[in-house]
Amino acid sequence: MVLPRRLKAPAPTWQRDVDVVVLGSGAAGLSAALAVRPVRSVLVVTKGILEAGSTQWAQGGLAGVLDPADSTENHVRDTLVAGAGLCDEDVVRQLVDEAPTTIRYLMRLGAAFDPSHDDVPRPGLDIDIALTREGGHSHDRIVHSGGDRSGAEVQRTLDQSAVGAGVEVMNHTFALDLVVGRAPDGSPQVGGVRVARLDEDGAVQSVGTITARAVVIACGGYGQVFASTSNPPAVTGDGVALALRAGLPIRDAEFVQFHPTVLWRGPGARGQQALVSEAVRGEGAILYDAAGERIMQGIHPQEDLAPRDVVSAAISARMALAPAGVDDHVYLDATHMGERFAERFPSIFAACREIGLDPATERIPVAPAAHYSCGGITADLNGTTTLPGLFAVGEVSSTGVHGANRLASNSLTESIVAGTRVGRDLAWELPVPARIAPEKVSSGADVLFDPDRLREVSTAMSRHVGVVRDATGLASAMSTLGTLSRATNGGVEPSRDSWEATNLLTIASAVVSAALERTESRGCHRRSDHPGTEPAWLRHLEVVLDPSGAVDVRPAPASV
Ligand code: SIN
C-alpha cells in the first residue's frame, strides 16, 4: 500500500513568520499558546473554530490528587495498571505530580469546577471541590464542571485566557504539511508549515507558508477513522498523518480506546455518538444485558468500574452472545439516581430525552465506540519529538502516560501539563532558525483520496478493527485499505474533505498495520486469535511511512 507523502494543494501565494505556530485549538494547543505568549509571537491554526475539537466534548473531567486521603502513589499505580505494562513510569510520575497544580492553575484562570457535595466530607481538602471516580481509579479524584460539561468549561477558560492574552488565532485554516529545512549542522529541522485558508464550506481560498522557529502539533486523535465514535467530526487525525508524511514515527497506533458506553440510538448509527460518561458508573450505575443479567459481576474486582478496556471487552463479548436476541447494545441502569440524574449529568440527560428516554426511570441503551487514541507521535511530556523544531502535545502524542490503555480523565490533565510545559520551554528558549530551501516542485505523487469513498474505510475499521480483532478481519481490512489506496487519484480536487479523507486513510493503514503485527491481547488491543498477554510483547511498535509512502511497522526504541 502506498500513501501520499505530501498533500496536493495549490502553490503557496503568501507567507507569515512567527516565533511559534500551534496546530490545533483544544486544551493542549491553547495551553501551549497561553504559556508562550507573554514573550513570543504565537499563532494558533485551527481548521474550524476554537471549540471544534474533542476538548469541548469531554464529560468526565480532570484526574488529580487533591484529597489528602488519596496519594500520588495511588494515582500512579492506577495509571500503570490501566496501561497494561506499556506506560513509562517516570513520565506517569511527572504527570501525576503536576496534576493538582494544573487543576489549581485552571481554577486561577477562571475555571468553575463543581463544588463539593455536602454529603461527602473530605477532611483536610483545602478547596471546595467535588471529586468523583471513574473506571480504574481506586479513589475519588476527578474534578468536573457543570456536571458533565467539564471539557466545555476547560475550553471556555482557555479560549478566554488565550484570546485575552493576545494569542492570535487563524480559524478555518488547514495544516497541510511541515516545512522541513536544515539545522546549522545540516540535519533536518522543522521551519514551518504549509497551510490552506478555507471558506466556511471547506473550499480552498488560498495556500500559504507560515515559517516559525517551533511548530507545536496539538491536533488531537483520530476517532473519525471508525464508523461510530464519541469524537466530533473534526477529529480526523490531521496531526498524526502530517507527522507520518514528514517521516516521523507513530507509536502505539494499535491502542485505540473504545469507550464502553455511548448512547445507542439504533442500528447503523454513524459518526459522533453521545457519550454516557463513566462518571455515571462512578455514581453507582450498573451494566445489564438485554436479558437483565449483570455484565461486570465476576469479570473484574472493580466490576462496573473496571478499567475501560476491560468493560468494553466484556460488553462486546456479551453482545456476541446476543442475550434476548440483542447483539448490538446493552443497558446502563442509573435509575437509582432518580431526578438527581438530570442535575448531575445535564448533557447526557438531554441526549436521552432526544431519543424519548428518561434515565430517572428507564435503563439507557449503550454500546462501545471509538473514543481515544492512546498512541501518536512519539514525544516526551515536554512535547519534544524526534525532529528538532517539532513538538507534539495532547492526544496527538504518545508520551508514555497512557501505555496500552488510558486511565479515565488523565487526558485533559496531560494536555494541560504537556501544553503548558512546551509553551514555557519555548518562552525560555527557541530552537535556532532552520534554513529553508526554496520549495521544490512536487514530484507528482501528491494524489488525494476521494472523500466519497471514506465510508468504506470507516466501515472496514469498525467491522474488523474494533474492540475485538483477529488476523482474518485485520487482513480483510488491510486488503480493503490497499484497494482504496490505489483509488487515490490525481482527479480529486484539494479541499478540507479530500485532505481529511486522505489523512484518515493514512491513519487507518497505520492502525491496521500495527494491529496485525501485535499478536497478543493487551490493554485496548484485543485479539480473539491471540487472547493472552505475552511477556515477549512488553514493548512498543512504531509505524513509519517510508520515502515511497509504504507503511513500515518496526519495534520502537525504548525512549525519545
Ligand atoms: C467519560 O466521561 O467517561 C470520559 C472521560 C475520559 O475519556 O477521560
149, 344, 409, 411: which to mutate for ligand 1, most atoms within 8 A of CB?
409
Q: Per DSSP, what are the bridge partners of residue 443?
A: none
Distance 400 CA to ligand 1 centre (A): 19
Residue 59 CA: distances (Å) to CA of 56, 85, 276, 406: 9, 27, 8, 15
Distance 407 CA to ligand 1 centre (A): 9
Distance 60 CA to ligand 1 centre (A): 5
State percent of the chain over pLDDT 70.
98
Residue with cell 490493554: 523
Task: Using the atom order of ligand 1, give the atom closest to the CA of residue 371.
Answer: 7
Distance from C-alpha of 82 to C-alpha of 257, rounded to nearest angstrom: 11
Distance from C-alpha of 472 to C-alpha of 463, rounded to nearest angstrom: 12
Mean pLDDT of all residues in 262-290: 94
Q: Per DSSP, what are the bridge partners of residue 286?
A: 333
Which of the pair, 445 or 154, is modelled with greater confidence?
154
Task: Say if residue 492's pLDDT is above 60.
Answer: yes
Task: Say if residue 332's pLDDT is above 70.
Answer: yes
Mean pLDDT of all residues in 464-478: 97
557: confidence class by pLDDT, cuts 50, 70, 90: confident
Residue with cell 485551527: 46
445: confidence class by pLDDT, cuts 50, 70, 90: low
Distance 283 CA to ligand 1 centre (A): 14
Average pLDDT, the chain: 95
Task: Say if residue 554's pLDDT is above 90.
Answer: yes
Helix (H, G, I), strand (E, B) or coil at 234: coil
Q: What is the pLDDT of residue 559?
A: 55
Q: Whose CA is nearest to atom 8 of ligand 1?
A: 409
Residue 266 CA: distances (Å) to CA of 108, 269, 366, 469, 545: 43, 6, 10, 23, 38
Distance 4 CA to ligand 1 centre (A): 34
Task: Say if residue 60's pLDDT is above 80.
Answer: yes
Task: Say if residue 429's pLDDT is above 80.
Answer: yes
Mean pLDDT of all residues in 375-394: 98
Which of the pair, 51 or 434, is modelled with greater confidence?
434
Q: Whose CA is nearest to atom 4 of ligand 1?
A: 60
- The alpha-helical segments, DSSP class H, found in 323-469 are 340-344, 346-354, 410-428, 454-464
Q: Does the Cβ of 59 fall within 6 Å of ligand 1?
A: yes
Q: Does the Cβ of 315 fall within 6 Å of ligand 1?
A: no
Q: List pLDDT tens digits, range 494-506.
A: 999 999 999 999 9
Q: What is the pLDDT of residue 268?
A: 83
DSSP string, 121-152: --TT--S----B--TT-SS--EE-STTT-HHH
79, 134, 261, 414: which to mutate for ligand 1, most atoms within 8 A of CB?
134
Q: How far apart are the first and last CA of the chain?
A: 28
- Taking alpha carbons only, the member of 497, 514, 455, 447 closest to residue 480 is 455
- Which of these is catalytic: 213, 308, 421, 469? 308
Q: What is the pLDDT of residue 121?
A: 79
State percent of the chain over pLDDT 90.
92
Q: Is 406 a catalytic residue?
A: no
Distance from C-alpha of 192 to C-alpha of 178, rounded to nearest angstrom: 6
Task: Say if residue 441's pLDDT is above 50.
Answer: no
Q: What is the pLDDT of residue 119?
A: 67
**Full-model pTM:** 0.96
Q: What is the pLDDT of residue 443?
A: 44
